[in-house]
Structures are given as C-alpha cells and as structure tokens.
Amino acid sequence: MDDRHESPTILSYHDDMFNLQSTATLISSSLGDDGRHVLILDSTIFHPQGGGQPSDTGFITSSRFKFAVQDVRSRNAVVYHYGVFDKSAEDIIIEAGVQVVLSVDESKRKLYSRLHSAGHLLDVCLPNVGLGHLKPGKAYHFPDGPWVEYVGKVPQAELQSKMQELELEANNMISRGMKVSVAAYSYEEASVLCGGALPDYIPKGSTPRIVKLGDFPGCPCGGTHVSDISDLVNIKLHL
C-alpha cells in the first residue's frame, strides 16, 4: 500500500478515550498483502498498535456492509484498519465517501487501558521506594504477559525486597485513587509538565500528548488509559 498521498487520519480517541462509537467517512478500501481488506477513514476511534499497547478491535459498518476490525496499524500518520467483510458484502462495491459507524470492543479497550496505565503507575511509584534513579525503557502492555523495563542498577540482594515495596506502594495508590488526565499541550507546556524536559524524539514546536497521574510529572504517550488509578483494582509484580 502506498500512503504517500493519503491525508493524516484524525485520531479521535486522542480527544475522547472513552467514546467507543462514532461515525467517519471511508477514504479507501483495498486488499492487503495478507489477503485481508484494509480500510482507511478520515478519522478513527480505533487505537492502532503502538507504544507497547495492542490495537483495538471491533466493527466498521454501513447500510451496505459490516467489517470486522481485527488489527489496526499506523504508518506516516495514516491509520489502516485490517479485517474482513461479512460474507453478505462479498459482491458489494465498497465506494469511497460513504459514512460508516465505528464500534470499538469495550472489554478489550478497557483491559488494554488498564494494562497501559499500570505501567505508568509503576513509573511514578519508583522514587517513593528509593528507585528514582531508574529510567523507564521499553514496555509491553499486552494481556499475555505485560512488562515494563527500566534502565539502571539495583543490587541483587535488594531486588526482591524492592519489588515487594514497589508492589505495595502501587497498590496503596490504587486503593486511594488518583485521577488520570491525558491532553495535548504546546511543546513548552509539555516540557514543564514532564519535569522540565522532553525526550529527544519529541520535535520542538510540536504539541505532545501528555498523560499525568495526579500531580506527578507527566509523560508523552499516545495510548489509552483509565480515568482513575482505582480502576486498576490490584497489581501483582513478578521478576
């Protein structure tokens, strides 16, 4: 697929992570290399895989077809919805410009959001248990075994006890509750919210999307999250 001439997809979930049904305009429908169809829309509430978070699934429907969204990816600011049409649509010509209804699988969105927010909660808990020198690295927020990686050293003799302290601190915060806010800011505002500096991969002059847990420093993030940390219920950590 050639996305060089496609306009950027409006990421509607950036403005409202909790809206799981919306309308959009179909830009194109094509057959992907793996045999599945690919739909491009002018806007989407489907979160594409990225930032360690799985993509949303669900349905895209019109008066003439039903399309099961199995996977969502983003490339060069264009979002691709991969999936299959209902058999009844096999002989229908899918034309650009039609209005479609987007419906995101609620249970999966909520699960992925909880897993993603849990990773950010651990980030803000680290200084409280004497691990503030560790820096967040890669993360995997998939349900088959989520993990977060930190750069830095912890003495082997302290590793198990620090893990237990971190788990206790995280669950204490969950029991108290804490609002989660996500919004786009100017580069300067985002720098302040993130403790005075942004990662090098954030271009100057851009409007980064920042997630904040309570009054803790924020972090650039394009994913979906819970509205309050209490929604996580409980965290269990393993080495």
Give per-residue pLDDT as tens, 62-76.
988 999 999 999 999
Give per-residue pLDDT as tens, 128-161.
999 999 998 999 999 999 999 999 999 999 999 9
Structural domain 109-232, CATH architecture:
2-Layer Sandwich (3.30)
Q: Model confidence at 90, in pLDDT bands (50, 70, 90)?
A: low
Domain residue ranges of the chain, discontinuous segments joined by +:
10-104, 109-232
Residues 106, 92: Cα–Cα separation, whole Å: 29
Longest dimension (CA), the chain: 66
Q: Which fold has domain 10-104?
A: Elongation Factor Tu (Ef-tu); domain 3 (2.40.30)
Residues 43, 47: Cα–Cα separation, whole Å: 11
Question: Are residues 196 and 218 in contact, defined by beta-carbon separation less than 8 angstroms?
Answer: no
DSSP reduced 3-state for 27: strand
Average pLDDT over residues 164-178: 97
Q: Sign (positive/negative) of CA torsion 224, 229, 233, 239?
A: positive
Contacts of 101 (CB under 8 A, 6+ apart): 21, 22, 23, 60, 61, 62
Residues in the chain: 239
Q: What is the pLDDT of residue 17?
A: 94
- pLDDT for residue 118 is more than 60: yes
Strand partners, 186: none
Q: Model confidence at 50, in pLDDT bands (50, 70, 90)?
A: very high
